[in-house]
Structure 1
Amino acid sequence: MYTKQHTIKAPVTVEGVGIHTGAISKMVFLPAEENHGYKFQRVDIEGQPIVDCDVDNVVDVSRGTTIEQDGARVNTVEHVLAALVGLQIDNVLIQIDGPEPPIMEGSSIKFVEALMEVGIEEQSMLRNFFEVPEGVFYKEDDRKVEIAALPLNDYRLTVMVDYNSPVLGSQHAALNNIEDFASEIASSRTFCFLHEVEALRKANLIKGGNFNNAIVVVDQVVNQETLDELAELFELPSVEVAEEGILNNVELRHPNEPARHKLLDMVGDLALVGRPIKGQILAARPGHAANVAFARKLKSLMLKSARKNVPTFDPQQQAVYDINQIEELLPHRYPFRLVDKITEITDKYVIGVKNVTINEEFFMGHFPSNPVMPGVLQIEAMGQTGGILVLNSVDNPSNYWTYFVGVEECKFRKMVVPGDTLVIKCELLMPIRRGIAKMKGQAFVGDKLVTEAIMTASLVKKDNNA
């Protein structure tokens, strides 16, 4: 699996009919910056609203997964998202001029081919994996659905389907290496049973469905009259039933193509968790409703795990660097010394502590009747803590200066007041190269995130001859 984030090298366009809406749409994949994720943009709607690919935005799971945000809706997103996950693309903006992505020929392969044609580009930041920390289980007794996620330092999926059908029987499909998605899974087409076609039509679905973009499984005896009706329904000269029970003699691409397509759907639906996953996924009889319910369960655990990663402060914990040792590392002096101790440091992150008291000099002029720590000084405290992390990466750190050269995505979420203890965590987002370090800084009071930002620092060797 890739360790760094990726986008595409250039825009690429696909066009076609949506399987359920029957609407023709043009869809353009655009490169996106780091940490952008997957987003659709309805360019045919006033204001061109953005729809984040997030499980919280799912509004319908009838024969496909539909997302909606701020009144803008995108139907049947799973095949597009599966292609992106399967190619390990992290950041892309998908502009679409209609309500539904084109079904193409019923799988993800045309999206995969288009994306591979323009190429995939590595970005600087590390991928923010959600590593399944423990067994996660989902069950629907009435439909005999079972899904589990188990810890694994990789992304693997195994799917079993059993439709109690003499045509399909029980099928299994597995994806043991995400790099095999394009060759083993992406071309597997969507399918339905013949007895479902009429019901889907009555539900105002599959308006764009035909034998070129879906497999229709015949699991009952069909007379010529029914075949003639189907031919008229799909505007074809004639319709036949193949020996293996597939309507109109459509040849399967794999003996277990339906199971592989169910796996494809699950890859796309689980993309809505919002982060690339590391874990073993095992699923029996999955469908969009179950996939989305399981994705919600994973996201809830992901958010819970993130809260568990809030650094804690034990006043009795021995400091890794105390105030005297910090003075040897940093050139800052009163009143701009804003780190009191370092409690933990590795090659990837550092945790520092800043005690905020009413005796701070800045309280004399910053809201003296309502003392609040200036946000810029919270950023400075994070910068100094991050500076120690950067200096810890070199031999003889006293021979270097650390200058912060960029601050992005800064948010102040809660006021910091006298009596608070700021616990600051700075974590590298990529390896330090050529003296440039990019890190995520977060400041907490208790378990509450008060400030966060992405910071870039430059490590410069001192000119001792100056």
Structure 2
Amino acid sequence: MVNHQHTLAKPVSSTGIGVHSGNIVNLTLLPAPANHGIRFVRTDLPGRPGVTAHFNNVVDTSLATVIGAEGCIVSTVEHLMAGFSGMSIDNAIVEVDAYELPIMDGSAGPFTELIQSAGILRQEEGSKCYFKVNTPITLAENGKSVTVYPADQFRITCTIVYNHPLIGTQTCDFVVTPEIFRKEICTARTFGFLHEVEMMKRYGLGRGGSLENALVIDTDRVLNEGGLRFADEFVRHKALDLIGDFSLIGMPIMGHVVTHCSGHAFNHAFLEKFFSQKESWETCTLVSDALQAGGKK
């Protein structure tokens, strides 16, 4: 846990393909002042409208996490947001010239490398605030669940269950630090089943999808050359998605998040439950490694 906010040391750009549109997307990450947060700006629209990365601005979670406000829509933000959160970036401006972010290789690895290439700047004027969980908060429904327990760090335990011989039941457990995020989480790729990919393409979706930006699974094998990056890459990617989705709460959580069969929609529903249960948490900063309680929001 750190006591100061961070931003990028300099602007940095990249180009990739939109997984659903199939169009080329240009992306630029820029520094932002303390207490700014993460804000997306659509450079392809008149007036360059923007939207702040916050769960109140989530407008769709069916295929990816989509945020929108005042005529500005940005889709598939979860992998970049996971990169910002995992690398402890609090403030940045994201310029993009399309409605969806580039999918890159299907993980947060390229975004993490982009952040590292920009450099990370400590902002002495900005104290970092946390949501400190004091009593458990749970959302459970139809075999899915998310619970956050009190803890003195951000820890995630993620379990998935698939009726498929290559996946089955997988669980991962991480205390999320920049080092662990870089080495163990950020390169885990999104995945899909071959019959689902074929169906999506028939309906005009996933036009930019390929074996270059997703794990594709047939009945008994992974179709990607080189196979898996981790034996449990599937659940690691779900943990990556969770980090990205939970970053939309606006401040990092000091707590242990335990999930079972959750996804974008259920993660978002949990964030709404989290904010409705204000008696279970408080805001705080870290000063000389000691907790300083703040007011509830």
TM-score, normalised to structure 1, is 0.59
SS across alignment from 2:76? coil
CA distance in 1, matches of 2:254, 2:83: 17
Compare CA radii of gyration and give the structure with the larger one: 1
Runs of at least 5 residues in structure 2 that lack an aligned partner in the other structure: 289-293
SS across alignment from 1:98? coil
Correspondence for 1:176: 175
Correspondence for 1:245: 221
Q: Structure 1's 121 and 194: CA in aligned 2 closer, same or farther, altered over 3 A?
A: same
Correspondence for 2:212: 212
CA distance in 2, matches of 1:104, 1:71: 25
Deviation at 1:247, TM superposition (A): 1.6
Q: Structure 1's 47 and 265: CA in aligned 2 closer, same or farther, altered over 3 A?
A: same
Q: Structure 1's 72 and 136: CA in aligned 2 closer, same or farther, altered over 3 A?
A: same
Q: 1:298-317 residue pairs with structure 2 within 5 A?
A: 298-302=274-278
Q: In the TM superposition, what whole-angstrom CA distance separates every residue of 1:331-366 from its partner, at most 9, and x where no partner exists?
A: xxxxxxxxxxxxxxxxxxxxxxxxxxxxxxxxxxxx
Correspondence for 2:144: 145
SS across alignment from 1:267? helix
Correspondence for 1:293: 269
CA distance in 2, matches of 1:148, 1:429: 24
Residues 31 and 91, structure 1, Cα contact 8 Å, conserved in 2:
yes
Q: 1:44-443 residue pairs with structure 2 within 5 A?
A: 44-124=44-124, 125-141=126-142, 144-179=143-178, 180-219=180-219, 245-302=221-278
CA distance in 2, matches of 1:127, 1:302: 20
CA distance in 1, matches of 2:241, 2:25: 21
CA distance in 1, matches of 2:227, 2:234: 12
Residues 136 and 149, structure 1, Cα contact 8 Å, conserved in 2:
yes
Count of aligned positions: 290
Q: In the TM superposition, what whole-angstrom CA distance separates every residue of 1:111-146 from its partner, at most 9, and x where no partner exists?
A: 1111111210111221111112211111121xx111
CA distance in 1, matches of 2:132, 2:185: 23
CA distance in 1, matches of 2:67, 2:229: 30
Deviation at 1:50, TM superposition (A): 1.2
Structure number with the higher strand fraction is 2
Residues 134 and 280, structure 2, Cα contact 8 Å, conserved in 1:
no
Q: Report sequence identity in percent.
A: 38
Structure 2 letter corresponding to 1:257? E
Residues 23 and 100, structure 1, Cα contact 8 Å, conserved in 2:
no
CA distance in 1, matches of 2:144, 2:17: 31
Residues 159 and 170, structure 2, Cα contact 8 Å, conserved in 1:
yes
CA distance in 2, matches of 1:128, 1:25: 33
Q: Structure 1's 207 and 121: CA in aligned 2 closer, same or farther, altered over 3 A?
A: same
* Higher RCO, Cα 8 Å, sep 6+: 2
CA distance in 1, matches of 2:210, 2:273: 35
Structure 1 letter corresponding to 2:239? L
Residues 167 and 218, structure 1, Cα contact 8 Å, conserved in 2:
no
Q: Structure 1's 430 and 159: CA in aligned 2 closer, same or farther, altered over 3 A?
A: closer
CA distance in 1, matches of 2:120, 2:285: 24
Structure 2 letter corresponding to 1:132? V
Runs of at least 5 residues in structure 1 that lack an aligned partner in the other structure: 220-243, 310-426, 432-440, 450-466
CA distance in 1, matches of 2:256, 2:216: 31
Q: In the TM superposition, what whole-angstrom CA distance separates every residue of 1:361-380 from its partner, at most 9, and x where no partner exists?
A: xxxxxxxxxxxxxxxxxxxx
Structure 2 letter corresponding to 1:127? K
Residues 16 and 25, structure 1, Cα contact 8 Å, conserved in 2:
yes
CA distance in 2, matches of 1:429, 1:171: 34
Q: 1:28-43 residue pairs with structure 2 within 5 A?
A: 28-43=28-43
CA distance in 2, matches of 1:260, 1:286: 13
CA distance in 2, matches of 1:280, 1:135: 9
Deviation at 1:204, TM superposition (A): 3.1
Provide the alpha-carbon RMSD of the alignment: 2.3
TM-score, normalised to structure 2, is 0.91
SS across alignment from 1:208? coil
Residues 130 and 302, structure 1, Cα contact 8 Å, conserved in 2:
no
Deviation at 1:429, TM superposition (A): 9.6
Deviation at 1:201, TM superposition (A): 2.1
Q: Structure 1's 169 and 275: CA in aligned 2 closer, same or farther, altered over 3 A?
A: same
SS across alignment from 1:25? strand
Correspondence for 1:26: 26
CA distance in 2, matches of 1:11, 1:205: 32
